[in-house]
Amino acid sequence: MSVLIVGLSHRSAPIDVLEQVAVDPDGAASLTARVHAGQHVEEALVLSTCNRLEVVAEAGTFHGALAEVGDALCAASGLSREELTPHLYVHHDERAVAHLFSVASGLDSMAVGESQILGQLRDALADAQRSDHVGPVLNPLLQQALRVGKRAHAETAIDEVSRSLAGLALDRARDVLGDLSAVRAVVVGAGAMSGLAVSRLLRAGSRDVTVVNRTDARSARLAEVHGVRAARWEELWTLIGSADLVLTATGAVGHVVEADDLAAARARAGRSGAPQVLLDLALPRDVDPDVSRLSGVRLWGLSELQREGAGEDHGAATDAALRAVQQLVDQEVTGYLVDRRAARLGPTLAALRDSAARVVDAEMARLDQRLPHLPVEERAELRRTVQRVVDKLLHTPTVRVKQLHRSEGPGDYAHALRELFDLDPHEVALAPTPALTMPRALDPTSVPPEAPGAGEVSS
């Protein structure tokens, strides 16, 4: 296994750079296909959220794959290497596994501990599976990452202290508008983040929530699921002008809400100076930053939420929960790497057993030449006896090499076995490799119910 991760996130890049590299689902698919077509890449997956873009690859050669992934990211973003490189991070092998498990557990999210990233990771893996861009290396690794994320939320207190972007945004709205049960709210967009926002609004007691989307069928479907009102796109400005709270998450290219249009809509509704909160959870931005100049209007986008969320005092309970998740991640990383190392021994051990079987066959053939009239029953018993001797001779070194492989780290015990037993490297290469006990098909129950499918982004 040689796993390479190249990416950028809110931890390594400012929001304006993340906006430039943001890709929609079609763009993510194109990026994955380009990386997968590289000479030095065997498998590939792209994880794209509102605050990260990562390429996960199985690298045939590290430097060759790194160059190909870098070229693909530059082509997808339109940025030069000089512009992009300062914001990139690179993880390889063990560090790549640790990073994926941390991401799946919510430890690397802008809103630490949020669970929506699991939906994004699940969808990215499903897309890569359908396109045959993942195989025996990335498929089990990503499935295990999903399981680790699920364990983090099921076995620690992270859900009690985690704050999703939507939850953090609504806290800011509450600071301005007070009790959200009395506000008139409009959610623009019908993706997973919009669904999460509607859910959070209803949990906060909001009774007047309307969903509007360019595609009426999608807004109607989201509204029906949550029991709120859906409106046509033509009603957008009437709704926004009279709303107390507007939350946008459309994923559109360019601003959906311009300052001049908002001013005119508020004037028509007779609310030019009334308090209004706009929460822009889209990347690229849905809302023109100039709306903040309008009287009574407060705007929070991803960059503001990032700064304010990072400055919060998490408290002892949160710190304890995060430590518990980190310990779980560390244990899972160790276990996964041990299992992978053990799996690498499989072809060598299989070749060793084949070699021993050939020795037994050769000796029995020699016995047949010397004692051609040996009764069938006696010959069978002799073969069983010889086989037992061979099995016992191989048992101790086989068990011991597995123990050493697990307890003493990545020594090349497979090479030692090949040398000691004079195994043909070509035969070892053709021997079967035991698969990890992970099915190819994704288990839809492996993602918590509040992870509706788009993870950190979603529009």
Annotated active-site positions, please? 50
Write out the two tokens for 299.
Answer: 């705007």
- H helices of 188-312, in order, are 192-203, 216-226, 236-242, 259-268, 302-310
Q: Give residue 205's region: left, alpha or beta (phi > 0; psi -120 to 50).
A: left
Cα dihedral sign for 173, 174, 179, 180?
A: positive
For residues 328 and 105, the answer to whether their CB atoms sit within 8 Å is yes
Bridge partner residues of 300 (DSSP): 279
**Helical ranges in 5-80 per DSSP H:** 15-21, 25-36, 62-77
**CA angle 356-358-360, nearest 5°?**
70
Q: Are 161 and 186 in contact (CB under 8 A)?
A: no
Q: What DSSP assignment string belongs to 436-458?
A: PS--SS--GGGS-TT--S-TT--
The sign of the CA dihedral 402, 404, 409, 413 is negative
Q: Is the dihedral of CA 130, 133, 135, 138 positive or negative?
A: negative
Distance in angstroms (rounded) separating the CA atoms of residues 169 and 200:
10
